Chains A and B, each alone.
Chain A
Amino acid sequence: MIKQQQLAIALLLGALLSGCGQPAPALDGSSNVAPTGLGGLGGETVTIDEAGGAYGSTSEDGASSISDGTPYNSSTEGLKSIYFGFDNYTVSSKMENRIYSNATHVRTRGLRKVKVEGNCDEFGTDEYNYALGLKRAKAVKDRMVAQGVSADSMVIVSLGESNPSCSQPTDGCYEQNRRVDLHPLR
């Protein structure tokens, strides 16, 4: 008798678990009509929400906090963004003061880890633009290392053209988007 009960429970559990493997329930606009003549195309697809998480939660310093002649900044917590020319990933002499300032800031504040994010304007194309953003981030990291910051304390990521700080179709706006931002990680 006990064995029969165990078997019944096992069968019930099996049926419930097999239900978990079915496709997601129908979404808006659907009904219970069985797909006909469509082969694999009739299946209902899911929608996944990935909102939240670590990404996209940085705040921005105001431009008024910077007094080195470059009127922009989108880095955080006292760090300063580095700006680049069109299709270029060399740190210009004009930006060396900012590199020095950032290196000093990281060392004196004892920042354990800094994220170095490379960005581009909108004129590149998909993957190559991300590689250009990466070269900018790497150039900034290398200059920071030359100023005494440990390479292990920086992690570089390219955001390509996905993170514009300005969206107006003007030269000044495009300049603001060709940049590297620095954000402390905790």
Chain B
Amino acid sequence: MRYILLLLLTLNLFAVDATLTIEKDVEARSRIALVDGSALPQPKLSAILRSDLKISGHFLPDSTIHKGAFGERFIPPALKSKEYLLRYRLSQTKGVKLEVRLQRASDGTILFKKHYAIGDRRKTPFLVHKAVSDINDALKYPDISWINRYVVYARYTLPRKSEIVLADYTFNYQKVIIRGGLNLFPKWADKAQKSFYYTSYRGVLPTLYRVNIYTGAKQRVVASEGMLVCTDVSRDGSRLLLTMAPNGQADIYELNLRTHAKKRITKFSGIDVGGKYINNESQVLFVSSRLGYANIFKKPLGSSAVSQVVHHGRNNNACDTHGNQIVYSSRESNHAFASNTFNLYLSLANGSGTRPLTTTGANQFPRFSTDGSVILFIKHTQRGSAIGYTNLMSRQSLLFPISGRKIQSIDW
């Protein structure tokens, strides 16, 4: 009997699969009730609030939005089983004001309260993100300040025309920041998101500019025949990885902004694009056609040795990095005249520990959050397109539908 019990226990110990892991994570998250105390119900704001709490990986928000007075301290008996109760109130006189109050559900103790205000009503989603980020901090959960960041993306409008747009991570806020002409490949220039780089096709040659989003001050950085893309920025902002083709050959270059020195990193007669710093900026990860199809390779900055990183798939044509983690998009069908399936995979820079992040649709443009905990991607399916987020710790995913014009590239 003892051996049978031991055998059962052993089987149970090794029966940990993805589903069980998720169940365990669900149990680990804090159950939180939402009480809207606004004069009129705010379903859109409530939806953003729920999304923020959910994607944080630290909260399990109620699917029901309750109605109740903002100033009330009494906890309804039905909500006492939760850990927290979040009361909020939105008022819209002269701009927008959001008040939040977090209570412990068991005894009504106020754990956090703050109000947020802004003149531009369109920026209301940022008020919600900041409130959730502050509540998360107040409870001393791991940082989720990435939800406060701007997403910058380029979208095609007409042949030879595009726009560069600023958005919040849910795309509920969107504002065109550069319109007219063909302007592509936006890439944030600094951690504070005050400026970004982009490629302008206004002149004869593609030209890289840096623009300040608050003042509009624009600075020409470099131009190149063929193509020009800023693919990564060093942590201190002093060096850029560029895809350039001064001789008609797409290769990775590093531009030192202090000395204006350009260094050619790759020298290959095929295609080398998408350079990203890895391993404390000592190496560069990039997409190359060296094997006759797009795949992921790496090389040290000071050496010519190139090594293959991904040993899976037959067309891996986009990637991003954070530390020594990599995420890449892999084409898993080969239709010449129809949409293909692209899935995202997470791996390490040494090629080990690969795991799929998506299983359906065309998933492209993978981008790590600044802390590496979440991956942004664009998903296209038969039913439409969406911007998606996968929290790597909680394995929670969210999709926000997007409609209209085709996204060309994205950064956050």
Q: Using a CB–CB distance below 8 Å, which chain A residues touch chain B?
A: 21, 23-24, 26-27, 29-56, 86-87, 115, 122-128, 130-135, 137-138, 141, 155-159, 161-165, 171, 174, 185
B213/A56 in contact, CB under 8 A = no
Contact: B119 with A31, CB < 8 Å?
yes
Cβ-based interface call for B239 (8 A): no
- Which B residues between 323 and 371 are near A, CB-CB below 8 angstroms? 329, 335-337, 339-340, 342, 364-365
Residues of B within 8 A of A (CB): 94-97, 114-123, 126-127, 130, 134, 148, 156, 159-162, 166, 175-185, 192-194, 200-206, 211, 213-216, 218, 225-227, 229, 231, 243, 245, 248-250, 271, 273-274, 287, 294, 317-318, 329, 335-337, 339-340, 342, 364-365, 406, 408-409
Task: Check A126–B408 contact: CB distance below 8 A.
Answer: yes
B408 CB contact (under 8 Å) in A132, A135, A162: A162
- Selected from A32, A45, A123, A156, the residue in CB contact (under 8 A) with B226 is A156
Determine the residue in chain B with the shortest Cβ distance to A23. Answer: B214
Query: What does DSSP make chain A's interface, helix, strand, loop or mixed?
Result: loop
Asked if A23 meets B181 with Cβ closer than 8 Å, knowing A41-B126, A163-B159, the reply is no
Given the complex of chains A and B, what is the CA–CA distance between A40 and B273 in angstroms? 33
Complexed CA–CA distance, A26 and B134 (Å) = 27
**CB atoms of A131 and B243 under 8 A apart:** yes
In the complex, which of the residues B118, B204, B226 contacts A134, with contact meaning CB atoms closer than 8 Å?
Answer: B226
In the complex, chain A residues whose CB is within 8 Å of the CB of B185:
126-127
A23's contact among B215, B218, B271, by CB below 8 Å, is which? B215
Contact status A162-B216, CB under 8 Å: no
Known: A38-B126, A55-B181, A156-B226. 7 other contacts (CB 8 A): A34-B119, A56-B181, A127-B273, A127-B318, A155-B204, A156-B225, A157-B201
The answer to whether A30 and B120 have CB atoms under 8 Å apart is yes
Asked if residues B160 and A131 are in contact (CB atoms below 8 Å), the reply is no
3 nearest A-B pairs in the assembled complex, by CB-CB distance: A51-B180, A33-B95, A138-B248
Q: Are B119 and A46 in contact (CB-based, < 8 A)?
A: no
Nearest CB of chain B from residue A24's CB, rounded to whole Å = 6
Cβ–Cβ < 8 Å partners of A37 in chain B: 114-117, 130, 134
B364 touches A125 (CB 8 A): yes
Contact B245 A134 (CB under 8 A): yes
With a CB–CB cut-off of 8 A, which chain B residues contact A42?
Answer: 118, 123
What number of A-B contacts does a CB cutoff of 8 Å give? 213
| CA distance in complex: A122, B179 (Å) | 22
Whether A29 lies near B202 (C-beta < 8 A) is no
- Once A23-B215, A45-B166, A155-B204 are accepted as A-B contacts, the answer to whether A33 and B160 lie under 8 Å apart by CB is no
Which residues from chain A contact B318 at a C-beta distance below 8 Å? 125-128
Of the A-B pairs whose beta carbons lie under 8 Å apart in the complex, a sample of 22, sorted by A's number, is: A24-B214, A27-B120, A29-B120, A31-B95, A35-B118, A36-B117, A36-B118, A38-B118, A50-B179, A51-B181, A54-B203, A55-B181, A56-B161, A123-B340, A125-B365, A127-B287, A135-B271, A141-B248, A156-B245, A157-B204, A158-B226, A163-B159
Task: Give chain B residues whose Cβ lies under 8 Å from the Cβ of A36.
Answer: 97, 115-118
Minimal Cβ-Cβ distance residue in A for B408: A126
Contacts of A48 in B (CB 8 A): 177-179, 211, 216, 218
Q: Are B215 and A24 in contact (CB under 8 A)?
A: yes
Q: Given the complex, which residues of A lie within 8 Å of B194, measured CB to CB? A: 40
| Bound complex: CA A45 to CA B194 (Å) | 9
